[in-house]
Structure 1
Amino acid sequence: MPLAAKRNRRPAGTASPEAPAYLRTLGLITYPLYLTHNVIGTAIIRALVDAGLDATSALWIALGMLVLICWLICAKIEPAVRYALMQTVSHFGKLPERQPKSRRPALARGLRLPLPVAVKVKVATS
């Protein structure tokens, strides 16, 4: 191991701008695959085996389906969620100033219950 580590001490090159976009997508697929492979993969394999496939075929079909599901997550779902979150966060700086008490709607003023009054109580000691 030390020899392999020493041999690989050269700095890794960065991806060139001409690198195909599918390499980036394959890299993005890895995290959803890491998060979902156990539960979803097991469910797919179980369903395929129950449908009558042998375990090896079920495994390879499940792997292909997992990659497609993870592509759907990273290419379609994540950008939509990211856009919605960015829109929500960008509106936080645009909140209106707080209105004075006289201009607030009636429900914002509360129930207008009387404030509690402090009372002195003498307690008899024996």
Structure 2
Amino acid sequence: MSLASDICDWVFVEAGVAQLESSQGRCETVGEGPPPRGQEWYMGQVAKSPQTLQRLTEASPISYVNDSWDLPIYMFLGANDLRVPMFQGEAFFKRVKACTAKTKVECEAIIYPKDTHPLDSVPAQIDSCSRILDIFDKKLI
């Protein structure tokens, strides 16, 4: 994920490996040595640490999908998403489908070919909102 995202440093922040004050400001590590010096530092120094790799694995949603998964999943993916590239969502979807093949847990992925991370085109907003309301009607009410 860190190499695929347009904000690779944020992956490390979310995993608790680094703390960023702003994209222009100071960035500090959390118990991992000297302050970073750009993307090369993340990829070359931090990513090699076994502790960092463990934290990144623990922060990744796909690491929690197993044969006991029993929650329905409805994913809305923008094909042009640079924040969380679509292959990440596809991998998660395929893993859930494989782990729930016997239990028939509902798992659906909707791909919006012209959208990015926020799914902010009018057609995507209308469609996704409509689908979410349908899910609420069928599953929660």
With normalisation by structure 2, the TM-score equals: 0.24
Larger radius of gyration: 1
User: Which has the larger share of helix?
Assistant: 1
